[in-house]
Amino acid sequence: MPEGPELHLSSRFVKKIGDARQFAGKILERLPANRAPRLDDLNSRLDAVTRYTITSWSRGKELMLAIKPLDLPETSKYRPEDWSIRFNFGMTGCFKFTRTDELPKHAKVCFTAVGEPACTLSFVDMRGFGRWTPTSDWSDNRGPCILQERDLFRAHVLASLEASPFSKPICEVMLDQRYFNGVGNYLRAEALHRLGVAPFARARDLLASLPERLEPGRSDLLHMCHQLAAEVVALGGGRRYDVPLNVLHELLPRDGVKREGAEQNGMKIEVKREGAAQNGLKKEVKEEGEEEEEVDAFEEWLQCYYQPGMKNLVDHQGRTVWFAGSPGPMVPKARKQRHGSSKKADKQSVKTESSDEGSSPPEKRAKRAPRRRTKAEPVEDQAVTGRRVSSRGTAEKESAERTVKVKSEISRKISTVSNKAAGRKGAGKSTKSRSAVAAVLQKTERPSPGQRRSMRISAAARQT
């Protein structure tokens, strides 16, 4: 899910496009048939030839896009609030600038650029959780931004400690956008890990001792949220949301985007992205020159989230939190893991810790889920061994029990008939005993087509 740094980078990306290209025509909304368009009022003020520019800015996990028409009537005064759209990215939202004939499959909102080559700026959302609303106001249920409103963010959190959410574990409060606007799953894990904070410690107990103003050179959890977000922005974006500024030279005018190190003769183009000040990380992309070598600086920057040797648990809200060491006193009783550790020793350490801490006694821990029956595993084996049948219904269990009873009855009757036949003499009586066994089988279990065919061949052979 895109977090605060990704939204900030996306707003810079949209603004860079808006500075280089103009747009015209109505805004296209590509929606399912059961969803009504949301930009009808804004489109009613645009026609096919109306030109406009676009700018953008962000706050936490929201992005604002504003349109400015270039040929408004003199009697009309431009008011940005009348031409703004607020975007929430959901799980997979992002902006892309592509050729119009290469429009992404999941493009939802499209702005058509003027000039050649024909291009489109589109809001793309593969999973469809993103939202856009024609308004200039930020959502009421979101606090100050961790990245751009650092001081307001700190003051707001410390002033809200008596609120009921702060009685929950700190890992769950950090995903509450009313207080930590811009923090998501990876920022949460990294901030807690780098400070050595147990994710399931009570939030109020951890934050109550923090000062209103932090001394220079010191760090705490609130400062770490801002610092890590700034580092990710310097790296160029988080997992799968790297904004592709280096490809814009193909789609924008020659003077539309300044490119560091670009030679005007077109013999060589080298694009350098901003380097991260922390740990001396740098990310360079070379094009049309030497063999392309791109180091994923974001993956190197991560220390906890999805990293080998780290533990994970599902919190009370159903989200996976990554950590090292003890989870803390408010750990969920089920201790459910969603992602297995990459090493056998890590699994063993999590199992040992869960039995040693005492917060969940062995007799009260969740029972191991029953193994599901595979297609190759017969139902009767489950009934014989006493293995619990899955909860798909009692009919399957009753069928297994009936099958076992029928087979037991067949074995008993065959044994009885065979014992009686064994005490008799003569070929005729022996033939009669075999017929009696076949009769018992026919009465108790209907033979298969192959068995019936074999029986007919045997009967014909006896007659001849």
Residue 384 — very low, low, confident or very high, per pLDDT cuts 50/70/90?
A: very low
118 with 27, same domain: the answer is yes
Tokens of 356: 């040693």
In contact, 17 and 253? CB cutoff 8 Å: no
* CA separation for the pair 236, 97 (Å, rounded): 17
**Closest listed residue to residue 313, CA positions, set 289, 333, 291, 295:** 333
In contact, 121 and 98? CB cutoff 8 Å: no
Rounded alpha-carbon distances, angstroms, from residue 423 to 80, 298, 427, 441: 106, 85, 13, 21
In contact, 29 and 38? CB cutoff 8 Å: yes
Position of tokens 């006896």?
462
Tokens of 25: 């025509």
Mean pLDDT of the 405-410 span:
75
Q: What is the number of other CB atoms lying within 10 angstroms of the CB of residue 118?
A: 12
Q: What is the CATH number of the domain that holds 112?
A: 3.20.190.10
Mean pLDDT of the 365-394 span:
46
In contact, 88 and 60? CB cutoff 8 Å: no
Q: What is the CATH number of the domain that holds 229?
A: 1.10.8.50
pLDDT of residue 149 exceeding 60, the answer is: yes
* Averaged pLDDT of the chain: 77
359 alpha carbon, distance to own chain's centre: 30
| CB-count burial class (<10 Å; 0-12, 13-18, 19+) for 286 | middle
Q: What SS3 string covers 321-360?
A: EEECCCCCCCCCCCCCCCCCCCCHHHHHHHHHHHHHCCCC
* CA separation for the pair 323, 329 (Å, rounded): 14
54 with 16, same domain: the answer is yes
Mean pLDDT of the 35-58 span:
90
In contact, 272 and 284? CB cutoff 8 Å: yes
| Predicted pLDDT at 248 | 61
The length of the chain is 464
Mean pLDDT of the 157-171 span:
97
224 with 326, same domain: the answer is yes
The count of domains in the chain is 3
Compute and round to an integer the Cα radius of gyration of the chain: 34
Question: Is 125 part of any domain?
Answer: yes
Q: For residue 154, give every residue at least 6 positions away whose Cβ sits within 8 Å of its Cβ, in sequence order, or none.
A: 212, 214, 222, 223
158: helix, strand or coil: helix
420 with 386, same domain: the answer is yes
Provide the domain limits for residue 117.
Answer: 4-133
| Domain final residue pick, 346, 368, 390 | 368
184 with 77, same domain: the answer is no
Question: Is 373 part of any domain?
Answer: no
| Domain final residue pick, 79, 106, 133 | 133
Question: Is 249 part of any domain?
Answer: no
163: helix, strand or coil: coil
| Predicted pLDDT at 394 | 62
Question: Is 257 part of any domain?
Answer: no
DSSP 5-48: HHHHHHHHHHHHHHHH--EESPPEE---TTS--S-HHHHTT--T
* CA separation for the pair 426, 56 (Å, rounded): 103
Percentage of residues in the chain having pLDDT higher than 90: 48
Q: State how beta strands 23-24 and 51-59 pair.
A: antiparallel
Position of tokens 């030679």?
263
Question: Is 268 part of any domain?
Answer: no
174 alpha carbon, distance to own chain's centre: 18
Contacts for 361-364 with beta carbons within 8 Å, 24 or more apart? Answer: 364/333
pLDDT in tens, 272-321: 333 333 333 333 333 443 333 444 788 899 999 999 999 999 999 999 99
Question: Can you say whether the dihedral through the CA atoms of 309, 314, 317, 318 is positive or negative?
Answer: positive
Cis peptide before 199 (omega within 30 of 0): no
Helices (H), 131-243: 150-159, 170-173, 185-195, 203-207, 221-235
Tokens of 345: 């020793």
Q: Which amino acid is at 337?
A: Q
Question: Is 264 part of any domain?
Answer: no
Q: State how beta strands 311-314 and 320-323 pair.
A: antiparallel
Q: What are φ and ψ of residue 310, in 5° steps?
A: -90, 155
pLDDT in tens, 241-265: 445 555 565 676 644 444 333 333 3
pLDDT in tens, 185-244: 999 999 999 999 999 999 999 999 999 999 888 999 999 999 999 999 998 765 544 455
| Predicted pLDDT at 347 | 45
Question: Is 408 part of any domain?
Answer: yes
343 with 405, same domain: the answer is no
| Domain final residue pick, 133, 168, 201 | 133
15 with 99, same domain: the answer is yes
147 with 124, same domain: the answer is no
114: helix, strand or coil: coil
Q: How many CA atoms lie within 13 A of 154 on its CB side?
A: 19
Question: Is 349 part of any domain?
Answer: yes
36 with 108, same domain: the answer is yes
Instruction: Report which DSSP code applies to 289.
Output: S
317 with 220, same domain: the answer is yes
In contact, 87 and 132? CB cutoff 8 Å: yes
356 with 415, same domain: the answer is no
| Predicted pLDDT at 281 | 38
208 with 301, same domain: the answer is yes
* CA separation for the pair 270, 282 (Å, rounded): 14
